[in-house]
Structure 1
Amino acid sequence: MRTKPLLLILPLLSLVLQTLAQNASPVNGMVKDSTGRPIAAASVTIVNASGAGVHFTKTDANGAFDCKIPSPGDGLSLKVTALGFRPFIQTISSGRSPFLVTLSPLPTALAEVTVKSKTGIQASGDTLNYRVAAFKDKNDRVIGDLIARLPGIEVDEKGTISYNGKRISNVYIDGENLLNGRYGIATNNVPVDAVEQVQVLERDQPVKVLSGYVPADNVSLNLRLSAKARATTINTGEAGAGNDVYLLSFSNLILQQRVKSINYVKSNNAGSNLQRETADLGVSSANGATPPPQPHAYLSMTGDNLPAVDENYYLRNTDHAVNANALFKLPAEWALRLNLSALDLKRRYQFSQSVQYFLPQGDTIGYHESQFNTDRHREWQVQAQFEKNSTGAFVKSSTQLKIPSATERGDAWQNGQFMQQRLPFRQQGAGNETQIVKALGGKHLLQYNSVLQYDHVEENLYILPGLHENLVNDSVDFLQLGQRVRTEQVYVHQYTAFRIRRGRMVWSFSAGGNYERNHLRSGLQVTDSAGKLTSAGDRFSNNVTFENLGLFASANATWMLPRGVIVAEAKPAMHFIGYGLQGESGARRQEYFLLNPTLEFRKNLGRYGELQIRYGGQTSFGHVNDIYPGTILVNYRQFNANAAPLPKTGVHSAMGRFSFRKPIQMMFWQITVSAEQTRQNFLQAYTVDSGITRITAMNYDNRQSKYSAGGNYSKYIFALSLQLSAAAKGSLQTGNMWYNGDISPFHSHQFSLSMALQKKLPFGAKISVSGEAGKQEYRLQPRKGFAAPNITESVKAKAEWQQQLTGRLSITPAYQFTSYHPSGQSGIRQHFLDVQARFAVLKWKSTFELSGINLLGQEKYRQIVTTANQLSILEMPLRGRTLMVKYFFGF
């Protein structure tokens, strides 16, 4: 009885299928390579708008294919793929049968090679996959904790990530660029449990349409998320309190396919620097885009030297941060990205510094200074970006608004003389970057880049009571000095390129121009004992307008080798530079022609090695901060002025690098050697008199050389369950120095060796040990007299023992040691001990932590910095013993 309905349905279904077959549309054609040879067994798929396959077939021995589909309609596309070739996609409505499909070869034949390792690493062509579950530790909270331990990857104290000695450009989240180079936001906030794989993209070309036209040399990371992370909203928080310290944070993450966002609110006074989390750490060739020059800061209060230890030992801060980042995937492969950052930072610095100058004539000049400063820094930064990134076109328009401000106040003592300082700072900056790349058909590309940037900066330095009477006030006592600086900067860059691909050759031709205009106004004001404000004179005044119009072109020939690339490029440019100085009737104008050649060779050697050789010549010019004639009081111990022509710097550099990796054996190593020759038409002339330094840029044929070599090695030794890494680097530099009227050549040698190991031990323990030893030697070669060399030896070491007492309880003591030993001076040695204890509450998805910092009670940190003729000893008070109870939670 049940078969009767079925017997009635089958004829009806047959009739429907016949009708559909009669109304089906034929889709057929030929598939060939770039030389015209047919490609057999190529996969031909008809896909709908969502990417799902509607019909599938393969080409025959002659490269032909034939299939029938229902009425084409909108949204159906023809997709052709073959091993060793780039995929081909074309909407069916935009063409008629027969389709003539030409597949272009991939730049490397390794793209389809997959190497798997049972230990958690998988290599597929230029992509290296680290399985998070194989490397995760119970104490890992965010993905940055795990990345720092991956074989072949190094993370420095600033959070900058390198792979096999090469800095990465971006950290993507499921292939999406949410953060650009500010990837510290991801590594410090994405939970480790939300990531399934950490992928290294060794030749990352973020612009799809440029693939095959511009050889990629960027390295990026991609965080491949788990299915659970894509389906849920992730909320995490942290709260902590201790003796005079606190910490609060809350993060919200949405990591879905169409919407991704990372948002957080954080606050602490425990030495955690929230400004570093939003720093731009990425490095990229930018595919022709030119970043605008950043405004130059003329005034300062503190020195640049900071302790070479963890910031939580010395940073006395109160940091508040709000950060919001969102990426919305729109129809037709468009995307909208919004990034908002707000910082409110309060820092208290206290340090003392003893400086000695060893002059060529045999004289020694020194001074001692101490400062206690408070810095209040606020910053708003907003960026909005529209982007379309498809195989046929790339469009990006990014607009940024940046409004930082700061006020520094403090007390200073120099050689016993007391003074008070105040330095307010204001800046307004806005800019837009637009990039358009369009495939024209016939293997032609048209590219357009535009950069527009405007910045306005105001700086004011006030010093009370008056000082340097003999220099600024005819030796008459006065009450206060006030240095004012106003700068305004406009930058415009326009660039158009046309690219043609013929077989393995890619030809690129471009033309464009950039325009830079800077206006500097400065003056020094004196407040006498009666409170009257007067100018210190014209020699302390500047009113300079600087303009640089550059017209440039380029010709590039790129030969795509089967497993490498050869690039030859010339960038001829004509610069028209003019600037007017206060007191001069006419403007100074100069014209320069430059060639700026580049040669590069990259080649895969065997399955695991790569050789890279690069030569480049580049000439750059100074800006308004290099040509102002009026003296500026930079800080209470330094005056700057310039008596040189427009600075011109020509650099010729050569680099060779060989990298090798065997992922299945977890072995990575690379060696890099480089040489750099620099020629400048100026030299900084220093006049040192006790605690006062006057710096003037002087006309001089200044030539410098630098040679460096380095390498690193990383290996996991399976028999010992031991991960070992080592790095070595050395450099030799020669140049000239001008102190107190005497020009002296110098040369310096620097060498450092570092090692680190991690080993899992029985009974739930793990030990990590790292250390670095370095030696710096500076030798001054005065024309008269003799100068002893400055030699400093330094050692840094860190050891950490992590003991898992139970499944939920662990304790981790950590020890750090630093040592500095300069020639002719007693050495400086310092010791630090920290402890962390963690207890996990599984039902609450949370963890309690008790941390102790600086348990040995180290009160001061001392550090030695040397140059060819200078010895500086920095001393800074440290936080005392700090205990804090923290609570981490997630939901």
Structure 2
Amino acid sequence: MKKSIQFFFLFFLFIVLSGKAQSVISGKVLDENDQSLSGATIMISKDSTSSILAYGISDSSGNFNIQLKTNLETLFLKISYIGYSTRKQKIQNKDQQLEVQLSPSSEELKEVLVEARIIEQRGDTLSFSVSAFKDQKDRVIADVIRKMPGIEILPGGRIEYQGKPIQKYYIEGLDLLEGRYSLANNNIAADDVSKVQILENHQPIKLLDSLEFSDRASLNIKLKNNVTTSGTAELGTGFSPLLWKVKVTPMIFTKKNQAIITYQSNNTGSDVSREIRDFSISDFGRQEFSINKRDWLSIRRLAEPPFSQERWLDNNVHLGSVNYLIRLKKDVDLKTNISYLNDAQRQIGNTQTRFFTPTGTIELVEQTNNDLFFNTLQSKFILERNTNDNYLKNELEINGHWDSQRGFIDSGNSKILQRLSNPFFVVWNKLRMLKPIGKQLVTFRSNTGYTEANQNLNVNPGQFEALLNNDDSFSEIGQAVNSSTFFTDNSAGMAKKISGVTISPEVGFSLQNQHLKSRLAIQEGTRGEFLNGDFRNNLDFLSSRIYFTSRFVYEKDTWNFRLNTPVNYRAFTIEDFFLNRSQDLSRLTFEPDFYIRNKFSAFWETSVSANYSNDFGDVSRMHYGFILNNYRSLQRYNSPLPEDFRQRYNWSLTYRNPLTSFFVSTSYSYSNTRRNLLYSNLIGENGATVLEAVEQDNNLQAHNWNAKASKYFSKLNTTLSLGATFSLFKGEQLLNQRLADVNNENLSFDLKLESEVTDWLSTSYSGNLSFLKTTIEYRAINDIETQQHSLDLFFYLAENQYFSINSEYYFNNISEENRNNYFLNLNYQYTFLKSGIDLEASWNNVLNTNEFVRVSNNEFAYIQSTYRLRTSQLLMSIKFTF
């Protein structure tokens, strides 16, 4: 580690430090008669082949004024005007006034073709024309974004640009939804949007724009009108069984107010909860604490199929959401986001699990019937001021989950009933302030929250007889878990630019206090008994951290450098009052993080990053007593505190050419983790697993490579996307008291095609081919091959009518009886042009395919899940805007 630290500092010290110069290039453009030329284009770049640094357009008097920041000594100036020869010359990078005279072009223009640009670039902003990508079937902006090269909408709704998640989703420059942008993406009408903008290297905090570069992109929706008041509504009904669908979403977007309000309900298999998923990338820096719902207990659930939920999700859902932004005054926004979800789901199917142990193979077949009930209230209140001389953001989040589940499993030898109550509550406040004082920028962060979970699991009949009841059977087992967490993280620092380097020292203190109580009880008839000893927890887990971080950021020409040097002093106090067990641990850690990026041409960019981290377990990985996580999994960590020492290295290369609509990205990452604990799984003949931690040093290695390419062919109205990923995981496992090396390999290829073949036909295709291979030192496991293919054909019968055929095919090489799965949907839509009302008729699952087999694997087993699907169904709906 010392050599790595020396390398970081030596590399940084040898960087030549210099600041960016700011200059103003102004002047006037004249014709051959000394008359002013209005609308001449002035572009400034490093040389004749580099990307544009700045540009301007002459006004009605021929004048132009361009400001730019660069430390180049010379610049390349290009001035053009239709019908005149282009002027090209080198100039000095300094404040100057130019007078440029253009001469008429001697070349005769035989034919002039004016064509709107599909993708335009201005500085770091790429603007995609919505009209160029939209066709007759597209209704919401998500339908159009899916066709744009370089941009991808993943199945869960997250948007990525060049393989990385977007940082912000703006609507006319305002962040209304704070990461829950699927609500806008799936409801804003495509006809209301003029452009979709990608803001590359976007720094969302204006005050940091000249101090810290960003390697993330954001997305901005440009509407056609300054004031947009619209809404969408959908009503649908069908049968086999009785079906319904209701959706009402009024929206308003102005310069000072934005609102999206929605109510949605259906039993057609549409998972509307996806619209309120949070894809935020925090403005508050690294978050050490998580407020995501923690389920200590669970019932055994089926693996969900990898295709459209309308084919398999048996649901009854209601969602209400209110999202409102008001601009109180210039650059000061108040935002409210409140959502309530009530959802009931049913899962029916079976799971065949094959465990590969040192002594043989264990087969477990489970017939499953689950009822899942979700009640979730999410609320977020934000006050934000974002100006060039002040930044303040306070975010209060209050979330409650009141979920319950029932499960019935028939394993052949026994019938098992599971009942689960797993509520979870969180309140969380985050504050960040930045304020210039003198010549430096003062920063302050505060992150404080509280979580609570009181969960109960009952299993009938009781399990783990040998361990819990001296091999005697009993009627029921009950597990209760009560946990709470208080956490706070506060820091103060400053930022100052010295000789072109932004130096940001920060000092802070964090504390997390977790408390865990658990009781395990067995019952025989009317007699119940709480188990003591190793089946109970009363644990206090206190962790604290004092840290000092220095951050160095430097930009020079096409190079960006960033170095973080955090020094942490961590202290842990762990005590179980009931079991009379305790630990005290303190560590001084240094966790450097280094990033370099170079844009070595107008289209090519590469980056390299490396970091070293020390991660420590929390109460979920450190409790001395057993907890029944589900009916066949009993876990405890009767061991020292987990310590993971991780090295990560990453390289990426991207190419994007807006002129040819061609985007490519590839990346490779390697990580090596040294752990002090090895996790032992003891699997019984009935599949029941006891997991414990063993103190033994071991290593995990992971290699990941991916590549993506997308190209829009304007003459063919076609977007073609290709992708490939490869991952390799190497580690050790302790299974049934035998140690073995385990390798997991996954190779996957993707192909997507969106094409408007003719005026009357468009098509959409996606395909995936995947190979999974697991190698255990003492066992050979069959390789898993899967294929997924989807082909949609849209026939435009008239300007206001289309008919579509949606087909899907799935294959796996493991299932003996159900390797091939076929699906077919038919859809017809008629639009009343004057009113914009859509009438739609759908016949889903025409082939009445009633089950689907999904195959997956882990370190020592593969799982074949058969899921019961929705039957063939007819649905009629009416959609309109208001």
TM-score tier after normalising by the smaller chain length: 0.7 to 0.9
Residues 290 and 451, structure 1, Cα contact 8 Å, conserved in 2: no
Task: State the TM-score, normalizing by the size of structure 2.
Answer: 0.86
Distance 1:761 1:587, change over 3 A: closer
Alpha-carbon distance between aligned partners in 1 of 2:861 and 2:321, rounded to the nearest angstrom: 42
Alpha-carbon distance between aligned partners in 1 of 2:812 and 2:310, rounded to the nearest angstrom: 21
Instruction: Please say if 1:353 is aligned against 2:351.
Output: yes
Instruction: Please say if 1:129 is aligned against 2:124.
Output: no
Secondary structure of 1:524 counterpart = strand
Following TM superposition, by how much is the alpha carbon of 1:834 offset from its aligned partner in structure 2, in angstroms? 0.9
Match of 2:550 among 555, 559, 562: 555
Match of 1:84 among 61, 68, 84: 68
Alpha-carbon distance between aligned partners in 2 of 1:128 and 1:657, rounded to the nearest angstrom: 21
Instruction: Please say if 1:852 is aligned against 2:836.
Output: no
Distance 1:644 1:303, change over 3 A: farther
Match of 2:794 among 802, 827, 830: 802
Instruction: Tell me what 1:540 maps to.
Output: 535
Match of 2:411 among 392, 409, 414: 414
Alpha-carbon distance between aligned partners in 2 of 1:552 and 1:737, rounded to the nearest angstrom: 34
Alpha-carbon distance between aligned partners in 2 of 1:329 and 1:117, rounded to the nearest angstrom: 38
Secondary structure of 2:184 counterpart = helix
How many equivalent pairs are there? 786
1:675-709 CA-partner distances (Å, limit 9, x unpaired):
11111111211000022111112111120111121
Instruction: Tell me what 1:256 maps to.
Output: 254
Distance 1:539 1:842, change over 3 A: same
Distance 1:775 1:34, change over 3 A: closer
Match of 1:609 among 600, 604, 612: 604
Following TM superposition, by how much is the alpha carbon of 1:332 offset from its aligned partner in structure 2, in angstroms? 4.2
Residues 790 and 868, structure 1, Cα contact 8 Å, conserved in 2: no
Match of 2:194 among 175, 193, 196: 196
Secondary structure of 1:209 counterpart = helix
1:537-592 CA-partner distances (Å, limit 9, x unpaired):
32210001101100111112211112231112211101011110244557421001
1:251-282 CA-partner distances (Å, limit 9, x unpaired):
11010111100000110000011211111124
Alpha-carbon distance between aligned partners in 2 of 1:862 and 1:473, rounded to the nearest angstrom: 37
Following TM superposition, by how much is the alpha carbon of 1:208 offset from its aligned partner in structure 2, in angstroms? 0.6
Instruction: Tell me what 1:816 maps to.
Output: 808
Instruction: Tell me what 1:381 maps to.
Output: 378
Matches within 5 A, 1:513-532: 513-529=509-525, 531-532=526-527
Structure 1 residue identity aligned to 2:660: Q
Match of 1:233 among 214, 229, 234: 229
Instruction: Tell me what 2:306 maps to.
Output: 308
Q: Which stretch of the first structure deviates more once superposed, 425-434 or 879-888?
A: 425-434
Matches within 5 A, 1:256-275: 256-275=254-273
Instruction: Tell me what 2:569 maps to.
Output: 574
1:69-109 CA-partner distances (Å, limit 9, x unpaired):
xxxxxxxxxxx9842149xxxxxxxxxxxxxxxxx99xxxx
Alpha-carbon distance between aligned partners in 2 of 1:742 and 1:756, rounded to the nearest angstrom: 44
Matches within 5 A, 1:319-718: 319-361=317-359, 363-442=360-439, 444-529=440-525, 531-583=526-578, 585=580, 587-690=582-685, 691-718=687-714
Structure 2 residue identity aligned to 1:879: R
Alpha-carbon distance between aligned partners in 2 of 1:285 and 1:777, rounded to the nearest angstrom: 39
Following TM superposition, by how much is the alpha carbon of 1:284 offset from its aligned partner in structure 2, in angstroms? 5.0
Instruction: Tell me what 1:110 maps to.
Output: none
Structure 2 residue identity aligned to 1:236: T
1:410-455 CA-partner distances (Å, limit 9, x unpaired):
322223311222111222211100000112242x211111111101
Query: Can you give the 5+ residue segments of structure 2 that lack an aligned partner in the other structure?
Result: 1-17, 29-63, 71-92, 95-113
Alpha-carbon distance between aligned partners in 2 of 1:37 and 1:387, rounded to the nearest angstrom: 30
Residues 861 and 875, structure 1, Cα contact 8 Å, conserved in 2: yes
Q: Which stretch of the first structure deviates more once superposed, 566-575 or 295-304?
A: 295-304
Secondary structure of 1:571 counterpart = strand
Q: Cα RMSD between the aligned structures?
A: 2.2
Secondary structure of 2:422 counterpart = strand
Following TM superposition, by how much is the alpha carbon of 1:467 offset from its aligned partner in structure 2, in angstroms? 3.3
Structure 2 residue identity aligned to 1:359: T
Following TM superposition, by how much is the alpha carbon of 1:117 offset from its aligned partner in structure 2, in angstroms? 7.7
Residues 148 and 719, structure 2, Cα contact 8 Å, conserved in 1: no
Secondary structure of 2:803 counterpart = strand
Alpha-carbon distance between aligned partners in 2 of 1:692 and 1:493, rounded to the nearest angstrom: 40
Matches within 5 A, 1:666-815: 666-690=661-685, 691-782=687-778, 787-815=779-807
1:805-849 CA-partner distances (Å, limit 9, x unpaired):
001010110111111113x96771101111211100122221001
1:486-523 CA-partner distances (Å, limit 9, x unpaired):
00000101111211112421111011011011000001
Q: Which stretch of the first structure deviates more once superposed, 445-454 or 760-769?
A: 760-769
Following TM superposition, by how much is the alpha carbon of 1:304 offset from its aligned partner in structure 2, in angstroms? 6.3
Structure 2 residue identity aligned to 1:478: F
Q: Which stretch of the first structure deviates more once superposed, 232-241 or 613-622?
A: 232-241
Residues 324 and 335, structure 2, Cα contact 8 Å, conserved in 1: yes
Instruction: Tell me what 1:885 maps to.
Output: 876
Residues 292 and 451, structure 1, Cα contact 8 Å, conserved in 2: no
Distance 1:763 1:549, change over 3 A: closer
Matches within 5 A, 1:17-32: none
Alpha-carbon distance between aligned partners in 1 of 2:210 and 2:646, rounded to the nearest angstrom: 30
Matches within 5 A, 1:146-157: 146-157=144-155
Residues 490 and 517, structure 1, Cα contact 8 Å, conserved in 2: yes
Alpha-carbon distance between aligned partners in 2 of 1:721 and 1:236, rounded to the nearest angstrom: 28
Alpha-carbon distance between aligned partners in 2 of 1:127 and 1:847, rounded to the nearest angstrom: 35
Residues 240 and 885, structure 1, Cα contact 8 Å, conserved in 2: yes
Following TM superposition, by how much is the alpha carbon of 1:38 offset from its aligned partner in structure 2, in angstroms? 7.3
Residues 20 and 500, structure 2, Cα contact 8 Å, conserved in 1: no
Alpha-carbon distance between aligned partners in 1 of 2:711 and 2:813, rounded to the nearest angstrom: 32
Secondary structure of 1:540 counterpart = strand
Secondary structure of 1:178 counterpart = coil
Alpha-carbon distance between aligned partners in 2 of 1:396 and 1:289, rounded to the nearest angstrom: 16
Structure 2 residue identity aligned to 1:758: E
Distance 1:831 1:283, change over 3 A: farther
Following TM superposition, by how much is the alpha carbon of 1:710 offset from its aligned partner in structure 2, in angstroms? 1.3
Structure 2 residue identity aligned to 1:416: N
Matches within 5 A, 1:829-840: 829-840=820-831
Residues 463 and 632, structure 2, Cα contact 8 Å, conserved in 1: no
Alpha-carbon distance between aligned partners in 1 of 2:269 and 2:817, rounded to the nearest angstrom: 30
Alpha-carbon distance between aligned partners in 1 of 2:684 and 2:27, rounded to the nearest angstrom: 78
Alpha-carbon distance between aligned partners in 2 of 1:137 and 1:760, rounded to the nearest angstrom: 8
Instruction: Tell me what 2:865 maps to.
Output: 874
Following TM superposition, by how much is the alpha carbon of 1:286 offset from its aligned partner in structure 2, in angstroms? 4.3
Structure 2 residue identity aligned to 1:391: N
Alpha-carbon distance between aligned partners in 2 of 1:681 and 1:436, rounded to the nearest angstrom: 39
Secondary structure of 1:133 counterpart = helix
Secondary structure of 1:215 counterpart = coil
Residues 821 and 827, structure 1, Cα contact 8 Å, conserved in 2: no
Alpha-carbon distance between aligned partners in 1 of 2:650 and 2:184, rounded to the nearest angstrom: 32
Residues 382 and 396, structure 2, Cα contact 8 Å, conserved in 1: yes
Secondary structure of 2:139 counterpart = coil
Identity %: 24
Following TM superposition, by how much is the alpha carbon of 1:322 offset from its aligned partner in structure 2, in angstroms? 0.4
